[in-house]
């Protein structure tokens, strides 16, 4: 409901201090669904570039953030490989990089993989963002 994926039937809520549905607040949230559909014909770099463009990131910021995240999730050597060649774990990691691309304040994921949960939470807690990120696992 907080992300607009379901409509509340009653009550009210705020997200990052704004009413639900506020586009500026939603732009500061990363979300990694349990079953994400990847554009498997794209390379890891193209995938992150496309999402950065959708976020409206400046090209210079996008390039540096892309490199930082590929390194952080251990996929730097696979930047030019198509996603169709990735294992399930690699797809989870590129999905995590995509969810963190926009220097978020809040991150939510559905059924987080145990392998990523601790490392992602630790990274989010020490990441240089404009606000202290809060990591939430949804189930």
- Contact between 123 and 30 under an 8 Å Cβ cutoff? The reply is no
Q: State which residues form the domain around 41.
A: 14-138
Domain membership flag for residue 68: yes
User: Given this model, what pLDDT does residue 129 score?
Assistant: 44
Domain membership flag for residue 85: yes
Taking only the tens of pLDDT, the chain with its 139 residues reads: 666 677 778 887 777 777 777 777 766 666 666 667 788 899 999 999 998 898 888 999 999 999 999 998 889 999 999 999 998 888 888 888 888 887 665 555 555 555 454 555 555 555 544 434 444 444 3
- Contact between 127 and 99 under an 8 Å Cβ cutoff? The reply is no
Task: Report the b/e string of 117-130 with b at 16+ CB within 10 A.
Answer: eeebbebbeebeee
- Cα 88-101-26 angle, rounded to 5 deg: 110
Q: DSSP letter at 41? A: T
**CATH number for 72:** 3.40.50.300
Domain membership flag for residue 1: no
Structural domains counted in the chain: 1
Q: How far apart are CA 92 and CA 73, in angstroms?
A: 10
Name the pairing type of β-strands 106-110 and 134-138: parallel
Domain membership flag for residue 89: yes
User: Given this model, what pLDDT does residue 122 score?
Assistant: 54
């Amino acid at each position: 409901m907080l992300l607009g994926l379901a409509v509340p039937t009653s009550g009210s809520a705020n997200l990052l201090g704004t009413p639900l549905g506020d586009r500026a607040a939603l732009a500061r949230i990363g979300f990694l669904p349990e079953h994400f559909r990847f554009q498997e014909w794209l390379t890891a770099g193209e995938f992150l570039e496309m999402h950065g463009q959708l976020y409206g990131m400046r090209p210079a910021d996008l390039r540096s953030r892309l490199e930082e995240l590929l390194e952080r999730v251990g996929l730097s050597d696979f930047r030019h490989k198509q996603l169709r060649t990735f294992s399930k774990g690699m797809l989870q990691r590129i999905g995590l990089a995509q969810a963190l691309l926009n220097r978020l304040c809040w991150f939510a994921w559905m059924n987080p993989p145990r392998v990523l949960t601790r490392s992602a939470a630790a990274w989010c807690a020490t990441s240089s963002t404009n606000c202290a990120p809060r990591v939430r696992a949804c189930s």
